[in-house]
Structure 1
């Protein structure tokens, strides 16, 4: 029995779907030294360690912020304490230097053959997976680029990096100030995201519902367009209780798609591969009926 709703399969087959993937996808990759990309919380806890021992007052305050999920404020305090240059160097050391290789899940997601993908991830792992298909397989755009809309109209395969890229660490959106500045200086980018939410179906993979970008985008969409279609949020089973799912579904206008939970999340890749098969069958039917 498939976990994938027919409406979602149809949207992907028609290429009217946008893939939005987060840190949970990157954490499947392994670098040359055997390490994996850290989660936000793990990275920030390590960075806080450069300020002083765990018992130091400010480190305790930062740890409390991280545990509460307020990563933006925690990152800002840390960056102020250890200085921006040291913070950027640590970002590069953890997200770029290990030379992470594309994991099977990156290749599976690319093989869904969606025109548009968006990620807040700083790394270039997804681009590596795309590069295996040859030069020109993917166009990568950053939130501050002024030609994103042009790329979308040219029907290119586009990856939009909504928080920046580690190769330009001085323009990363990592803190509360960074986020507010980006919202103010690059309002057209967030207008474009809102337009995509209105015209396409989004599938969120490897993301957390507390991500500030996702929260802001979906809450705005929910209340600006109360009769718009719901989007899809892929998560492990039992991540949320029934009551919490109901609240999140209503407040963020999302449908949960649950795969069987295991420690290694192996079932996510299996289900995504099954989704590719369903999409291919749907595209065959669409071709036969000429109902694109």
Structure 2
């Protein structure tokens, strides 16, 4: 079980948290066929089998993926798809791999429902899938990083689900490749400014991320990176990391790092249920 900081428990009971949800949170989701969403690297490998048809293309992709340069690998795959006139097929393939077949999509897991039960006013996800939209059942207005009304939605007190990297159903507008991450700072500038403002007054809880997750690194560099601050937000990691790396997260990003055994999402679920219990007890007592 995760030993939650008292500050986080207090902010959960005050309904004063922002929830960040990463790809790991979708790993326990399944469809009726028992299939689950793919991890970052497996998603790229699956796409490569579809678009890297020549020996040269296969070797180039394998060289990139061997160095775990996932953003460059995605860039290369998009280049190949575009160069061969298959960009629409590329977009459709991403949608299917992230959400499952249209007639048998991936469904939310218990982890999703328990995270939502923490009642964050803003949920931010770097995931392309539509699993959170289904889990929230319309209780959170889904907006994209490029939408012009993000600030107004939050100002009016609406619960917001921010797709900070877009959605696979509109794969032509997702943030997946090296160049797309760069363009996020322009196209998503309003979304990033709104989040930076919210993080000054609310506590963030990051769930579903691993140490090597490119989504995590890029979102932290976009929103944090102010040295000299004490840990004000909580990052839950999939798998343990050395103490010196934890200290870097604290010193560079102001994050308290907690972890659970690698791939043991049942353990994470138990800890989220315990955290939700703090909110439930407060509601019952009021």
TM-score, normalized by length of structure 2?
A: 0.88
Q: In 2, distance between residues paired with 1:242 and 1:158?
A: 35
The answer to whether the 8 A contact 2:211-2:238 is kept is no
CA shift, 1:81, in A, is 0.9
The answer to whether the 8 A contact 1:215-1:252 is kept is no
Unmatched tracts of structure 2, length 5 or more: none
CA shift, 1:180, in A, is 1.8
1:159 and 1:250, CA in 2 relative to 1: closer, same or farther beyond 3 A? same
Q: In 1, distance between residues paired with 2:267 and 2:278?
A: 16
Is residue 88 from structure 1 mapped to residue 91 from structure 2 by the alignment?
yes
CA shift, 1:52, in A, is 4.1
1:206-257 CA distance string (max 9 Å, x none): 01344445324434555446336531111245x2122222223322321112
CA shift, 1:11, in A, is 1.3
2:130 to 118, 124, 139: 124
Q: In 2, distance between residues paired with 1:206 and 1:191?
A: 23
What does residue range 151-230 of structure 1 map to in structure 2 within 5 Å? 151-219=153-221, 221-224=223-226, 226-227=228-229, 229-230=231-232
1:113 to 111, 119, 122: 119
Unmatched tracts of structure 1, length 5 or more: 288-292
1:212 and 1:235, CA in 2 relative to 1: closer, same or farther beyond 3 A? closer
CA shift, 1:148, in A, is 1.0
How large is the Cα RMSD of the aligned pairs? 2.3
Q: In 1, distance between residues paired with 2:187 and 2:263?
A: 41
CA shift, 1:91, in A, is 0.5
1:246-285 CA distance string (max 9 Å, x none): 22332232111233x2654211101100001123335567
1:74 and 1:95, CA in 2 relative to 1: closer, same or farther beyond 3 A? same
Match of 2:62 in 1: 63
Q: Aligned residue pairs: how many?
A: 279
Q: In 2, distance between residues paired with 1:182 and 1:244?
A: 27
Q: In 2, distance between residues paired with 1:160 and 1:16?
A: 17
Match of 1:74 in 2: 73
Match of 1:253 in 2: 254
TM-score, normalized by length of structure 1?
A: 0.86
What does residue range 14-29 of structure 1 map to in structure 2 within 5 Å? 14-29=14-29
Q: In 1, distance between residues paired with 2:222 and 2:96?
A: 35
- Structure 1 residue ranges, 4+ long, deviating more than 6 angstroms after superposition: none
Match of 1:141 in 2: 143
